[in-house]
Structure formats: structure tokens, C-alpha cells
Amino acid sequence: MSSFLKMSLVLRRANRVNQSAMRGLCSQAQELERSGMVLPNVAIAGVTGAVGQEFLELLEARKFPFANLKLLASARSAGKKITYMGKEYTIEEMTEDSFENVDIALFSAGGSQSKKYAPAAVDAGAVVVDNSSAFRMQPGVPLVVPEVNPEAIRAHRGIIANPNCSTILMNVPVWALHKEVPVKRIVVSTYQASSGAGAEAMRELEQQARDWVEGKEEVKQDIFGRQYIWNLFSHNSAVCLETGYNEEELKMVKETTKIFDEQIPVTATCIRVPVLRAHCEAINLTFAEPMDEARARSILENAPGVSIVDDRENNQFPEPLMASGKDDIFVGRIRPDLSQPGGYGLELFIAGDQIRKGAALNAVQIAEQLVQNARDDATEGVSVGIKQGSEAVFSRGFSTSAPEEKNED
């Protein structure tokens, strides 16, 4: 039993505190320390990548409570040193033995690595929060956007999946509206940044810009196999020959139904644009009852994780640069869909940082909720810690044989 597993026992001896009042005053780490709880050990799998780097920034910025941190990547990065929060860490090669004493493993090393190593992490007793698509649609794996279905976290059996980035960005504002007036149909078009395909894709876009400035006849095009700068193209995930939809589009369709826990017809068109960071989406909604613009605006203004940028006079609306490095999803162009009579239709345009809210931030929010759940349960004396139900999870039917995917953002 790792130290964090023992925390509920420790906590039962701790003084009860007014949690909501405490939350307003101090970080989760301070709360845990004050209540006498043992802090969890955390591993980041894929720490050198675009999402992994964001994890480091967020854990520090949000004062995520941890005792020890393990930084994992491939053999290419093993041995490299990182100074983080005043301490030197050495990156280790991820192996099946990497997860001893780890309580929470934040995975962002790609789907095939998740399939290979997440079972080992769970067997070692960790709860995995996985950014890849490896387990998202598996029964028994909660697929969580904390603003939408935080309660699903409790049902985990060792793995919690972070949804696809475009899906997360769409679901946060749409859910806020859907809670008030049911959404009957979603039509979405995405404008996706290079960083959605990882740090190398981001570097390639920058390289193409340099190549172009230097007047090279051909720009470097290893990642997407085409010129990206001054161009845009249909998302690089595999296209289903039968339906014509690509995998990214199908993720938005299927994952939204799982997260909302109800059938919502979604149709998506996903496009890569030569933007470094932050995705945009044009979202068209059809409601079961009329949803007027003023009501939609008021709902979105009060929605967690949403900021409104909607200045018609000055033509100021959400943009990727505005959203880059920000937690919130920026929503604008809020207007009735004039093609749907009776006020049943609404148009939105959003921008959100898909490395942050579309990946790392969403996963860290899940991890924070895991810690909070364990703390709440321990206060009530009903739980054994965050790993509840995770033992031998893979002998209980998780599949690691889902098809390989070239791109999984």
C-alpha cells in the first residue's frame, strides 16, 4: 500500500474543516497538508511532449498537491535533467516497472504507449488519467470533462480518459446551454492548430515559415507530408472510406454522446489550419425549444470555464492567439441561426487552447477531483483512497487491442 492509499486512515484522525471556505482561501495542497493527509505521488508519462510540458506548468501554477514526481519519456530523453520547482529531476525511460509507489499517472505519450504501459501503472496501484484515445470509448472507463460529468470520475476502475481536445472545447459551452434547453443537434466545423499533432508538428510549422522566408523552393514537410504554411487541409487522421468522415470527426460524434450520457446527433468537419496553438470551432446548434440570444449569452457568461469575447462593433471575436495559454474557452459570434425559424437555432464561434483545456488542464482538473473525492470519502470514513476498485483492472476486461491511430489529439 503506497503512502497515499493510507491517507484516508490518516484523515479520519484529522480535524474536520469547512471545505468550501478552505477552498476559497488556499490551494488544494495546503488543504491536504492542514488536514494531515499524505500527498499523492505523481508520474507524468510523456513529459517532454507538448502536453507533458503543459502538465509541468499547470501542476506548479495550480499548486497541485504531490509528494514525489516521476518524469517519464522514451529512451531518447532518458537521462536528461530538468530543474522544476527548484529541484533537479532526471527523465526516466518509461517501462512497466516505472509505476511503483505512483498514485496518479498522467499519461500523454501517445495511444500505443498508453495501451502498453497504462495496464502496468494500474496493476502497480496507480490511477491513470490518459490523454490518448486508447481507452476512451471502452465501457468502464469514464470519459470526463469536469465541467460536464465530474461525477463519472467515481466510477473509475483504474483508468480515466481525457476526451479528444476538439470535443472538450465544444462540450464545455454546449453543455452549459444544453442543461438549460436541450440541444437536439450539433453541427461543428473545426480550425485546428498544428500543436494538436504534438511538439514536432509545431516545430515543423515554424520551420516552414523560416524555409519560406529564406526563399527555399521546398519547405520541410515530414509531419503532414504537405506544405502547411499558407495552406489548410482536411484533418490528417484516417478517413473512413465508407462514410467519408475522418477519425477526428468521429471522435467528436461518439465522445460527445458518452460524455453527455445521451444520444446527441453531431456532425463534424475537422480542418487543420496553419496556427501554432489553440483550436477554433464554428458551432451550430438546434434546440428542442427556442433559445434566444440574450438567454444564451447570459448562460454562457455564467458558465464555468467560459469567457465571452463578442464585440460586434469592433469586430472582436475569439482568436487562437487570444486563447493560447489560457484556461478558459473563449466564446463569441453568439447569434441566432437565421436559417432556423422560431429561434431554435444558435451560432457560436469558439477558441480554446487544446494543449491546455483540451488536454493537460482537463486531466489535471480530473486529478484534482480524484484527490478531492478521496479526501471527502475519507472525511466520511467510507473509502480506501483514490485507488478504489482499481485492483486487477485488466483481468476485468479492459481491452488494449483497439486499432492504432496515427494522430490522436
Ligand X SMILES: NC(=O)c1ccc[n+]([C@@H]2O[C@H](COP(=O)([O-])OP(=O)(O)OC[C@H]3O[C@@H](n4cnc5c(N)ncnc54)[C@H](OP(=O)(O)O)[C@@H]3O)[C@@H](O)[C@H]2O)c1
Residues that are catalytic: 165, 279
Burial of 31 (0-12, 13-18, 19+ CB in 10 A): buried
Distances 286 to 149, 176, 179, 294, 400 between C-alpha atoms, Å: 22, 14, 14, 16, 37
Residues 181-210 that bind ligand X (CB under 6 A): 195-196, 198-200
Question: Nearer Cβ to ligand X, position 354 or 372?
Answer: 354
The residue number with the shortest CB distance to ligand X is 49
Does residue number 323 form part of the binding site for ligand X (CB under 6 A)? no
Question: Nearer Cβ to ligand X, position 40 or 111?
Answer: 111
Does residue number 110 form part of the binding site for ligand X (CB under 6 A)? yes
Residue that is written with C-alpha cell 503506497 in the block:
2
CB 73 within 8 A of CB 91: yes
Does residue number 408 form part of the binding site for ligand X (CB under 6 A)? yes
Cell representation of residue 339: 436559417
Chain centroid to CA 160: 11
Residue that is written with C-alpha cell 479528444 in the block:
164
Does residue number 50 form part of the binding site for ligand X (CB under 6 A)? yes
Candidates 28, 108, 373, 390; binder of ligand X (CB under 6 A) is 108
Which residues of 9-59 form beta strands (DSSP E)?
A: 42-45
Candidates 41, 77, 98, 388; binder of ligand X (CB under 6 A) is 77
Does residue number 40 form part of the binding site for ligand X (CB under 6 A)? no
- Quote the radius of gyration of the chain (alpha carbons, Å): 22
Candidates 7, 11, 38, 51; binder of ligand X (CB under 6 A) is 51
Candidates 129, 359, 361, 374; binder of ligand X (CB under 6 A) is 359
Cell representation of residue 67: 509528494
Chain centroid to CA 263: 22
Question: Nearer Cβ to ligand X, position 247 or 408?
Answer: 408
Name the residues that contact ligand X, by CB under 6 A: 46-52, 73-74, 76-77, 94, 108-111, 113, 131-132, 165, 195-196, 198-200, 354-355, 358-359, 408-409
